[in-house]
Amino acid sequence: MQALVVAAHGSHLNPDASDPTYAHADTVRETGAFDEVREAFWKEEPHFREVIRTLEADEVFVVPLFISEGYFTEQVIPRELRLEDWDPERWNSDGTDASQATLEATDVGKTIHYCGPVGTHDAMTDVIVQRAETAMADPDVGEGVGLAVVGHGTERNENSAKAIEYHTERIRQRDRFDEAEALFMDEEPEVDDVTDYFESEDIVVVPLFIADGYHTQEDIPEDMGLTEDYRLGWDVPAEVDGHRIWYTGAVGTEDLMADVLLERAADAGADIGDAREAVRELAASVAGTEPSAGAGAGD
Amino acid sequence: MTVATEDCERLADRASSGVAFDGLRVEETDGEFTLETPDNEWTGLDEDDLEDALAACEEYVTNWRYWQETVGGEGTARRAFLRWCEHAPIADADLGAAPSGPRNDLGEAADPNPLAVPERYDALRDGIDRRWGQLCITTRFVDVANPDGERVYDLWHVDDAESDLADLAVHDDPRDARELATYDADGRYRPLKTAPTLPGGWAFTGLSGDELVETVEFFYPATVANWHRELRGNLDVDHWLETAERQTGIYDVIDELPREAVDWMADACCVDSQCLRRREWQYEEGDDLDTDGGDGPFPCREPCSLVVAAARKWAILESEDEHTYELELTTSELNQLEELIDAVAEGRVDEIREADVNDGANRYRARYLRAKRFDEDGELEATRVDD
């Protein structure tokens, strides 16, 4: 038997914070690739601390639904899961390379394959591109369009920016969009000045966040000048300084995220059969038929 | 009264290594079968005789089939929980190791007198009800008229136990429980799943055993696993200091919370009126908190994330120095401050009637006090007198 645990932050205050976690876990459940699929949280229940004991499987794949390697993936989650012999060195990563480490959870005697976060997996690049497609309701989006990948950025954790820059560079190399730039909320270059960094008239903005909330639905739209007050909502596209800004919120809500969960687990040795194909087909059909307009203050 | 041929074949196949389950024993020695139930014994049977004899103890056979073939999972919390649901002996549990009487169903010990198969079969025709926190679980036969041993499970809020099913929103997908557990009856978010505020008005019907456990886990995460550990006497408890000292980042400060403040915190958060869990953790091993752990059905094995988050706030607040202030209040106004704090702490504010000006926490009384005693900055007129 094998189980998948999707480890996410969650919130004591905002019930929507866990929505993407549940949605992507459900998608994986429906593939039948794992005997058990469980959500686990830092701020909700089941807590990281107790989740492994709720599983019957002896082989457990834990995938953090986080954007960057850092405090949560290197300290909090392994500590709370009681992973014996954990050391960040086990990942041998310089900030975006974490793949997996196999460890024992001391309270339950199970084998845990502790994976790197979804945000730094190569498959995340595809999710960002798909987000641009759904935001512009155009599966062929690219020509004549600039793509801005937006991250939080923080001086406390250099890895926070690395994930954003890593995917931006990968997208740039694909030569699909006319321009690709990494922008941040708390460091230079700042998302406030988004139009300064693009010549393209159309700019699609994809925030590399897991869930929609304060930053993606309040801060960023106001900072970019899409709206004066997030409560009034905004148009997609919105006119700013002679550019059209296409913005729909956190990339973590994109259906293709379930594929990244599966890839992380497969990289760590999980037998997932043809689950990835099923998820990719599902995500593509959703993207093709139901572009999420998403104007306004979240859903 | 028939026993399925495939059940007979399965039992015959397994008889060579011996079958012993819930009172049913089947053994094979040199091609001869022995069959035994608490009431009867058959010896020297050939395979045809065995089939006839099994037909005479059909309930034991279908019961064996349900638990060993359908449920499976020997030794798992899932299986133990489903056994508990129908008052079956939880044979897998190492009950002798339990240090103190395991409690559940609001303090009731885990079946001191479990039901034998015939009694259970009688009861399953009507349905066996058990309570798990604010959930009521009914175990019953799929086919009551001609029971073949297969059980299904219904689940609803204890407050709806007498309700007509037609008046409830009926669900059959365990994942629906996530949404039902997210908000209280007033539509407010419930970050603590074991808060005694689960709203009613819904029912799950005809769940399989696996689906029941999954549904219960969405309502009350990890409660089945920890109940099972408690039952077996190996519940691992992390006391306050262990949990506090483990924290890093912004929660690093919580181990500085004074000893007496941990008692106040437990009194604020970890009592029956606020949480269905029974606090098993103390300040540290050998140093119990004054506040009673409560009578909740689920063992609480370590401070939860809400308590950790609140502890951070209190650790910061408790680092402040105390001062002496002087302020003008009538005796009734002082009493009113007490009533206001008490009303908020007990969640009583919404119950106070608009015109009940005898209640110190009445909104107009509070507004009057504010108008009279607050200055133009909206602050209580008080003077610090200790410097």
pLDDT (tens digit, 9 = 90+) per residue, B223-270?
A: 999 999 999 999 999 999 999 999 999 999 999 999 999 999 999 999
- Kindly write down the DSSP assignment for every residue of A91-119, as one continuous string: G--SSS---EEEEEETTTTEEEEEEPPGG
- What are residue A275's phi and psi, to 5 degrees? -60, -35
Are A233 and A297 a contacting pair, CB within 8 Å?
Answer: yes
Q: Smallest CA–CA separation between B191 and chain A, in Å?
A: 5
pLDDT band per the 50, 70, 90 thresholds, residue A291: very low
Which residues on chain A place their C-beta less than 8 Å from a C-beta of chain B? 11-15, 22, 26, 41-47, 49-51, 53-54, 56, 71, 75-76, 79, 107
B36-45 pLDDT, tens digit each:
999 999 999 9
Q: Smallest CA–CA separation between A284 and chain B, in Å?
A: 24
Contact between A51 and B222 using a beta-carbon 8 Å cutoff: yes
- Looking at residue B32, its amino acid is E
Buried b or exposed e, range B234-272, using 16+ CB within 10 angstroms: ebeebbbbebbebbeeebebbbebeeeebebbbeebbbe
Contact between A54 and B248 using a beta-carbon 8 Å cutoff: no
In the beta sheet, which residues pair with residue B138? B129, B154
pLDDT for the residue A47: 98
User: For residue B249, which residues of chain A lie inside 8 Å, CB to CB?
Assistant: 71, 75-76
Work out the burial of residue A289: count CB atoms within 10 Å of its CB; fewer than 13 is exposed, 13-18 middle, 19 or more buried. exposed
Contact between A56 and B189 using a beta-carbon 8 Å cutoff: no
pLDDT for the residue B2: 63
The arithmetic mean of pLDDT across residues A5-13, rounded, is 97
pLDDT for the residue A162: 93
As given in the structure block, the two tokens for residue A283 are: 């995500």
Which residues on chain B place their C-beta less than 8 Å from a C-beta of chain A? 73, 76-78, 175, 178, 182-183, 189, 191-193, 217, 221-222, 224-226, 229, 236, 246, 248-249, 301-302, 304-306, 309
Minimum CA–CA partner of A12 in chain B: B191
Minimum CA–CA partner of A74 in chain B: B248
* Cα B113 to Cα B9: distance, rounded to the nearest angstrom: 33
Interface test with A, best of B305, B306, B312 (most A CBs within 10 A): B305
pLDDT for the residue B102: 45
As given in the structure block, the two tokens for residue B349 are: 């504010």
Q: What is the mean pLDDT of chain A?
A: 92
User: For residue B306, which residues of chain A lie inside 8 Å, CB to CB?
Assistant: 12
Q: Smallest CA–CA separation between A75 and chain B, in Å?
A: 8
- Kindly write down the DSSP assignment for every residue of A159-212, as one continuous string: HHHHHHHHHHHHHHHHT-SSEEEEEESSSSSBGGGGGGG--SSEEEEEE--SS-
Are A63 and A5 a contacting pair, CB within 8 Å?
Answer: yes
Minimum CA–CA partner of A47 in chain B: B305
Q: What is the mean pLDDT of chain B?
A: 92
Minimum CA–CA partner of B75 in chain A: A56
As given in the structure block, the two tokens for residue A241 are: 């300084």
Of A47, A53, A71, the CB nearest to B304: A47
ipTM: 0.91
Q: Which helix (H) or strand (E) holds B26?
A: strand B24-29
Hey, what long-range contacts does A286-293 have (CB within 8 A, 24 or more apart)?
A286/A255, A287/A130, A287/A133, A287/A134, A287/A139, A287/A255, A287/A256, A288/A139, A291/A133, A291/A134, A291/A135, A291/A136, A291/A137, A292/A134, A292/A135, A292/A248, A293/A137, A293/A236, A293/A248
User: For residue A47, which residues of chain B lie inside 8 Å, CB to CB?
Assistant: 221-222, 304-305
- Kindly write down the DSSP assignment for every residue of chain A, as one continuous string: -EEEEEEE---SS-GGGGHHHHHHHHHHHHHT-SSEEEEEESSSSSBHHHHGGG---SEEEEEE--SSSSIIIIIIHHHHTTEET--GGGG--SSS---EEEEEETTTTEEEEEEPPGGGSTHHHHHHHHHHHHHHT-TTTTTTEEEEEEE---TT-HHHHHHHHHHHHHHHHHT-SSEEEEEESSSSSBGGGGGGG--SSEEEEEE--SS-SHIIIIIHHHHTTS-SSGGG---SSEEETTEEEEE---GGGSTTHHHHHHHHHHHTT---TTHHHHHHHHHHHHHHH------SS--
3-state helix, strand, coil in chain B (%, to 5): 40, 20, 40
A198-246 pLDDT, tens digit each:
999 999 999 999 999 889 999 999 999 999 999 999 999 999 999 999 9
Contact between B248 and A75 using a beta-carbon 8 Å cutoff: yes
Q: Smallest CA–CA separation between B92 and chain A, in Å?
A: 15
What distances in angstroms separate CA B278 from CA A238, B41, B194, B266, B275, one per listed residue? 53, 46, 10, 11, 8
Stretches where chain B sits below pLDDT 50 are 1, 92-109
User: For residue B302, which residues of chain A lie inside 8 Å, CB to CB?
Assistant: 49
For B274, which DSSP code? T
User: For residue B76, which residues of chain A lie inside 8 Å, CB to CB?
Assistant: 56
Beta strands in B74-185 (DSSP E): 103-104, 108-109, 128-132, 135-141, 151-157, 169-171
Are A14 and B189 a contacting pair, CB within 8 Å?
Answer: yes
* Cα B57 to Cα A17: distance, rounded to the nearest angstrom: 54
* Kind of pairing between the strands at A202-207 and A145-151: parallel
In the beta sheet, which residues pair with residue B54? none
The arithmetic mean of pLDDT across residues A290-299, rounded, is 38
Of B73, B246, B249, the CB nearest to A71: B249
Minimum CA–CA partner of A40 in chain B: B221
Q: How many interchain CB pairs under 8 A, A with B?
A: 63
pLDDT for the residue B5: 83
A154-211 pLDDT, tens digit each:
777 788 899 999 999 999 999 999 999 999 998 999 999 999 999 999 999 999 999 9
